[in-house]
Each structure stands twice: as structure tokens, then as C-alpha cells.
Amino acid sequence: MTAMPNPAPTIAPRRPKVITVASGKGGVGKTQLAVNLATALAESGKRVLLIDADLGLANANLLLGLSPQTHAGHLLDGSRPFEDVAVSYEGRFDLLPAGSALVHLAELELEQQVRLLERIELHQRDYDVVLLDAGAGIGGNVRLALALADETLVVMSPETTSLTDAYALVKIGGRAKDNARFRIVVNHVELAEQAREMFDCLDSACTHFLSIGLEFAGYVYRDAVVEKALRAQRPFVQSFPTSAASRCVQALARRLVEENRSS
């Protein structure tokens, strides 16, 4: 009797790395960082999906000069599939856009959050990295983005109010997910020492009061090209690749890529 050949092993689909970009307050340049990090990662050869997770208040598409006709709400209600909702930014990376001024998307019920995740089907998507650009603050949609993350980039600015808001975000994120990994990026700094000082203050407070250790991911210099790129609706790492701000974001992207290779 001829032996039957062994069936080929089933390879489970590889889930992309999920990085949530979050901030305890608005106005610290979180979405600008997310858009530019997506661009830098794409330029390094990574397949990237950027999700505008501030679902009721679209911002990411505006920074990219895109005017999508569909958004995450169409995915949520089942009227359009993922492939129709996600849009490409110049063939560099994909964006899942949010709705514009849609209150019903701003705070989803748990059942709606689960339904949206099921329809995104991240485990079936051919991406290396998924960036979730969370809304500012600590609302329900933000807590979902924190719970989904393999790691969270907490964006803060060199201001006392930003420090206290970042602490609140880490506190909520620690409750949303066990063993959560938080990495701190200080934006709009004049000097590198500012960033390290802000990180040390936040890390000390989180370690002492929350028993959560933080990691220093880097900083982004205050740079006039950021405003120029904002007006042109293009990422500054694309339009001004040798600027001080661009070099900071490129360095952050390189560290993320090198980590993926070693893990």
C-alpha cells in the first residue's frame, strides 16, 4: 500500500506589527508625526497601513492632500469593504480614513468597536506595520487603540501640561492592556536636552506611581519646514528629507525597522 504524502504544513498568517501613536492632549503634533512616520517607514521598504483612529474627526487625509469618498464609517456599517475604503498615498502606503465631523463615530460602543476590527481583518492584510493614529485624550476609541497596540508611541511636547496629560494616558493605557509597552517621543524641542529632561520626569512618575517603566524613543526638533509641509499638505520627510525634523523621524523609523529585523 502506497503511503500517502504528509500534507503541507499550514502557515498561520503573520499579523502586522501594530503601533498606536497617541497623546494625552491635542496640539502636540501627533497626527503630523504619524503621517511622517508612515512615510519614512514606507521609504525604508515597509508595507504600511495608517489608520486614522480619530474616527469622527478626520485629520490624516488632510495632511496628505487626499479627499477620500469613503471612510471607516462605511466599513463599520458594512456598506463598503476594506478594499474600497482604504486609499493609497502616491503608492507609498495605504490610509484608512476617518469620517469628518461625524459624532456617531467619535465614541463607538464596544460592540461597534469589535465589528469594525472584524471588518478590518488585520491578520489577513499584507502589511508589515499598522500605525493607529489615535484621537487625543483618553476616550473610548483611544482606549481601544491602546489595547490593540504592540507598542504605543506617546507624543508629548516640552510643556508641563503635556507632561501631566501624557501621564494620564499611560495610566489609562496600562489599565487597557497588561504588559503594555510605552515609548516616548518629545515633539517640537529646541534642544535635545529638553527631550531627555521631559522623559526623565515622566518616567520617574510612571515608575513610582504606576509601576510602569517607559522607553525613550527620541525627539523631533521644532523646524520651520513642518509648517511649510502642513500648508502644502505633504509629509515633511518627503518634501524636506534633509531637514532637522525629517532626520529625527527617519531615525525613529530606522530604529523600528531594526527592531523588527532582530525580533
Q: Which three cell numbers stand for residue 17?
A: 506589527
Percent pLDDT > 90 in the chain is: 63
For residues 42-48, give the mean pLDDT: 96
pLDDT band at 104 (very low <50, low <70, confident <90, very high): low
Q: Are 135 and 143 in contact (CB under 8 A)?
A: no
At 78, list the grid cell: 458594512
State the pTM of this model. Answer: 0.90
pLDDT-derived band at 110, boundaries 50, 70, 90: low
The answer, yes or no, to whether residue 112 has pLDDT greater than 70, is yes
Q: What SS3 class is residue 201?
A: helix
pLDDT given for residue 197 in this prediction:
96
- pLDDT tops 70 at residue 103: no
Please provide the average confidence, as pLDDT, over all residues in the chain. Answer: 87
Which amino acid makes up residue 135?
G
Please state which of the ranges 23-27, 105-109, 149-153 shows the lowest mean pLDDT.
105-109
- Average pLDDT score over residue span 14-42: 92
Residue 219 CB neighbours (<10 A) = 26
In which band, very low, low, confident or very high, does the pLDDT at 263 lie, cut at 50, 70 and 90?
Answer: low
Residue whose C-alpha cell reads 508595507 in the numeric block: 47
* Whether pLDDT at 176 is above 90: no
**For range 154-174, the mean pLDDT:** 93
Pairing of strands 17-22, 48-52: unpaired
Average of pLDDT values for 113-125? 79
With a cut of 80, say whether residue 139 has pLDDT above it: no
The pLDDT of residue 261 is 65
Sorted by sequence, the CB contacts under 8 Å of residue 112 that are 6+ apart come out as 76
Percent over 70 (pLDDT), the chain = 88
> Cell numbers at residue 202, please?
515622566
Q: Is the pLDDT of residue 4 over 60?
A: no
Cell of 64: 496628505
What pLDDT is attached to residue 113? 73
Give the pLDDT band (50/70/90) at residue 3: very low
